[in-house]
Structure formats: structure tokens, C-alpha cells
Structure 1
Amino acid sequence: MTLQLSPTELQDIQQVLQDFAPAQPAIATLQQHDGNLETSLEDLVAAEAGAAVYGDERKTLRQAFVRNLRREICGDDSFRARVEEYNKNPGKAALLTGLIVYLIDLVTLPINPAIATIVVLWVLKLGIRTFCDYTEPVEGQED
């Protein structure tokens, strides 16, 4: 499944986050990849790792990052409540930036605001329950 923001969704996010400077690298990466959330996340995670990562290594790095991130956010009721609150009031910049900042504070992984922005948009695109189910490791897969 390719997770992609439509041009309209990307434009809406740009407008909502226009005054939130930490999200601008995420928006630029999303624009570069035509709204593709997974490819944008791969780019940002690889850049954060500080190493040249190519091909399958990029996917493996993203998968490991998402697997670890999933452990932390899917069981956090406060994160879930914040996602649901934003979904009731989409387009509210304060709620969206608050969700991004909360994610940065929540996880023990090193996560910069651009990565957190992509993750939050991914969760919002799928829905928190679907994100948690979609990223759940396949039985027999090492966790």
C-alpha cells in the first residue's frame, strides 16, 4: 500500500503548518516525493541516521524505525486522544503542531520535528487504529 497525500491534502497541510518552522523540511520532502509519506519518511530517517543508505537498506531502516515507533505510540492513550481531537477539528494549526510536539516528547527514539511531522501525517491519513494494525509485525517476524 502506498500512502500518499493528494495535492489538495498537501496544500492544506502547507497552509496549516505555514507558521511552524520545524515542519518545513517535512513539507519540502513531501513536495519532492509528490506527497508519498513512506518515501518521505525513508529520506528523513536515512538523513537523520547520517549515513549513505540505499535501496533495500532504506526500506529496512524505515521498517525498523516504524516498528520501534509503533511500540511507543500505539499503546499511548493520550496520543490516541490527541489524534481523535485533531480529527474532530481538522485544520487547527495548534492541534496539529501540538500533536507533532507531543510525539517528539513521547518517544524515546531520536526523532526530529520533520520526521515527527511525517509520522503524524501518516497516522492522520490512515487513522490511529489502522496505523497500529498496518505496522504490526507479521507473526514470526523478529521484533
Structure 2
Amino acid sequence: MNKDPSLVAVVDDEESVRKALGRLIRSAGYGVEMFGSGVEFMQSLKRTRPDCVVMDLRMPVLSGFELQSALQRSGVTVPVVIITGDDAADSRERALRCGARAFLRKPVDEALLIEAIQNAVRDPA
């Protein structure tokens, strides 16, 4: 169990996925904020900055790739963990090249996700 009150943002357009991830991440001792879109998440940065972002790649309006680019353009440096049903090699390569700290396939292995978050929070650079 994590004793660190680090904040993890979950960005996924599927409510059931957000809720499940939120429960899992809270059970590991992290604070969680959940967002149904990349647009919602970007707007939240005016009031708070998470220590890690767990995001889906395939979302309407602002995809995970576009969200990664928006974060870079805005100068926000926060570790990103990608979770996706799309395990195409080019998607994995692109996400990691754009700075993602981990790329995990849905349904996500809970232990791997918590480990990826721990690593990202421990070493955000």
C-alpha cells in the first residue's frame, strides 16, 4: 500500500473503465481525479496538477496522442501511462516516443498498472 498522497488523473471516455481504475488506484493509496475526456482534463490543469496521468488512446474529440501533444505544447510535464485496447506496434512506439512512461493493454494487468504509476511518481523526469 502506497503511503504517498500523490494524485493520479484517469482520463478515459468509458465510465465503467474510469470507475474501475479509480477504485484500483485508490486501493493502492493514491488520490484520484477522473475525467471523461482530454478536454476536461486539460481544463482541470488550471486548478490542479496531478503527479501522473493514466489515459486511454482512443477517445473522441481529443485522442490520447492529441492529449500528449497538448500537454507538451502547454509546457505541462507530468508522467503519462497509456492504457489501450489498441496494441498495434506503431501505436506503442508512437506513444513511447511522445514521452509515455508505460504502454499497457486493456484489460490492464492491475499489478503492472500500479507498478507503472509507482515508477512514474517516484521518478517523474
| Common fold by TM > 0.5 | no
- By relative contact order (CA 8 Å, sep 6+), the higher-ranking structure is 1
- TM norm structure 2: 0.41
- TM norm structure 1: 0.37
